[in-house]
DNA sequence: CCCTCCTTGATACGCTCGTATCATTTGGTA
DNA sequence: TACCAAATGATACGAGCGTATCAAGGAGGG
């Protein structure tokens, strides 16, 4: 199973379908149509459906963690509050790309509950990778290990929940930003103590 | 379409399947087996699958809102912090019942993204009902309308996110409670200002 | 009594799914 | 050139799904 261009194309097609219509939209035939290849090709490069989906989810988990690591490397050390503010900026589903990302996250969440064997592991890697990175950044800017991890997970949880409220129409984008701003204003003074 | 015992039994079977294995586990035949009736009966009382699922989700949304209204009626007026503390106590998936409830919530969340027509509406009713009630309680204990709604949604978002982290194994129950305790300690002083 | 309508049952149809099979092309190498 | 393995294509198969259809009990009023 070599890492060919074709295989990458097919995995990207899976990601697009996943982002657009959730898990149910991902069928071998739909992937073939989306990638504009034959069904046989999807089988050839992805072998079985579970294997293909697992590989895609792993890739997605890796990509999201790497995106954050690159971001941290680029911006250098920031204050915890800046780190968290930036995280919310990126995590809230304000544009199409982050909406897709959130949708995929929700799919993985559901899959992790339905079928813990396959997506559960990818989802856990996704969450723990993000959590480790975020808590690492927070720790390196002065927080204790325990406080950093706790805050990292709190921020991730809040971002996920607010993202869901936004995507389900309970919260407008502006309201979400106001909510986060309010949250950060409460959090800020506590961090610099 | 009368509200018969049979119909209730069938809807409860759907809820059990939903809580156990997610949406994919809900097939007409599986519902029949779970309710120990024939496939024809499921059709008879539930007509089509979408109608049955929609009815179940509506019922679930109503039940969750009613549960909260009853709770508020029973306990009477509390301080905002007490209300929120109680909310987290109930919302965190610490026992089997609330785990099932959270699982169903995640299913609805996923369905709302995949198929906004059916479950999307039920999910929105669920969220807005909960949000209205919670913000109403907070408002009646001294907060402004805007602040109450914002805080209600923030609390709901955090509870959902933390619930997901617990159920995916990122957070132990004790860690989750510590996280919430820490959050409430930060929130408390702000509320009494 | 029997007839009618609500209830229950058994089975069939058409569809889509994942997967398997057989055949063909292509590209590098002995 | 000959060849072999990787790559691609067309099609078939069995299973599970939602739904429809045909048929049989079963109770209550004319």
Contact A156 B161 (CB under 8 A): yes
Q: With a cut of 70, say whether residue B193 has pLDDT above it.
A: no
Q: With a cut of 60, say whether residue A1 has pLDDT above it.
A: no
Q: What is the DSSP letter of A40?
A: H
Distance A154 CA to D24 C1' (A): 61
Same domain, A42 and A67: no
> For residue range B67-91, what is the model confidence (pLDDT) as tens digits?
888 887 887 767 888 889 989 988 8
Same domain, A12 and A66: no
Distance A29 CA to C15 C1' (A): 14
Q: With a cut of 80, say whether residue B119 has pLDDT above it.
A: no
Same domain, A77 and A154: yes
Same domain, A73 and A36: no
For residue A42, the domain's CATH number is 1.10.10.60
Percent of chain A with pLDDT over 70: 97
If you average pLDDT over residues A124-134, what whole number do you get? 90
Residue of B131, B129, B152 whose CA lies nearest to B65: B129
pLDDT of residue B148: 94
For residue B78, the domain's CATH number is 1.10.357
Same domain, B20 and B115: no
Provide, for chain A, the percentages of residues in helix, strand and coil under a 3-state DSSP scheme, each rounded to the nearest 5: 85, 0, 15
Answer with the residue of higher pLDDT: A191 or B79: B79
What SS3 class is residue B27?
coil
Q: With a cut of 50, say whether residue B1 has pLDDT above it.
A: no
pLDDT of residue A193: 55
If you average pLDDT over residues B22-27, what whole number do you get? 91
What's the structural domain count of chain B?
2
Contact A114 B182 (CB under 8 A): no
Across chain A, mean pLDDT equals 88
Q: Is A142 left (phi over 0), alpha (psi -120 to 50) or beta?
A: left
Residue of B35, B160, B182 whose CA lies nearest to A148: B182
Give the residue on B whose Cα is nearest the Cα of A168: B124
For residue A61, the domain's CATH number is 1.10.357.10
pLDDT of residue B74: 84
Instruction: Provide the 10 A C-beta neighbour count for residue B3.
Output: 8
If you average pLDDT over residues A168-191, what whole number do you get? 92
Calpha distance A16→A10 (Å, rounded): 10
* Domain housing A5: 1-47
> For residue range A18-50, what is the model confidence (pLDDT) as tens digits?
988 888 899 999 999 999 999 999 999 988 999
Put simply, the chain A residues between 157 and 186 with a CB less than 8 A from any chain B CB are 157-162, 164-165, 167-171, 175, 178-179, 182-183, 186
Percent of chain B with pLDDT over 90: 46
Same domain, B15 and B104: no
Same domain, B7 and B60: no
Same domain, B116 and B170: yes
Same domain, B74 and B148: yes
Same domain, A107 and A178: yes
Q: What is the DSSP letter of B169?
A: T
Of B11, B26, B47, which one is at a domain's C-terminal end? B47
Contact between A122 and A54 under an 8 Å Cβ cutoff? The reply is: yes
Of B28, B47, B66, which one is at a domain's C-terminal end? B47
Same domain, B68 and B17: no
Residues with CB under 7 A from strand D: A 2, 4, 6, 37-41, 44; B 26-30, 39-40, 43, 48-50
Q: What is the DSSP letter of A118?
A: I
Q: With a cut of 60, say whether residue B2 has pLDDT above it.
A: no
Same domain, A94 and A186: yes
Q: With a cut of 50, say whether residue A2 has pLDDT above it.
A: no
If you average pLDDT over residues B153-162, what whole number do you get? 96
Give the residue on B whose Cα is nearest the Cα of A125: B170
Which range, B13-22, B66-75, B112-121, B152-161, is most confident? B152-161
pLDDT band of residue B99 (cuts 50, 70, 90) is confident
């Amino acid at each position: 199973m070599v890492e060919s261009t074709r295989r990458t194309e097919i995995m990207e097609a899976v990601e697009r379908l996943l982002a657009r219509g959730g898990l149910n939209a991902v069928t071998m035939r739909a992937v073939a149509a989306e990638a504009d290849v034959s069904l046989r090709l999807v089988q050839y490069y992805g072998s079985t459906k579970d294997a293909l989906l697992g590989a895609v989810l792993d890739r997605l988990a890796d990509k999201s963690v790497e995106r954050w690591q690159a971001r941290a490397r680029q911006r250098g050390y920031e204050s915890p509050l800046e780190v968290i503010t930036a995280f919310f900026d990126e995590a809230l589903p304000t544009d199409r790309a982050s909406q897709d990302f959130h949708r995929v996250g929700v799919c993985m969440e559901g899959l992790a509950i339905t079928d813990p064997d396959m997506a559960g592991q990818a989802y856990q890697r996704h969450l723990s990778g993000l959590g480790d990175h975020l808590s690492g950044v927070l720790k390196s800017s002065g927080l204790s290990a325990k406080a950093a991890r706790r805050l990292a997970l709190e921020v991730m949880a809040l971002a996920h929940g607010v993202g869901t409220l936004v995507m389900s129409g309970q919260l407008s984008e502006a309201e979400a930003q106001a909510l986060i701003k309010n949250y950060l204003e409460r959090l800020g003074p506590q961090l610099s103590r």
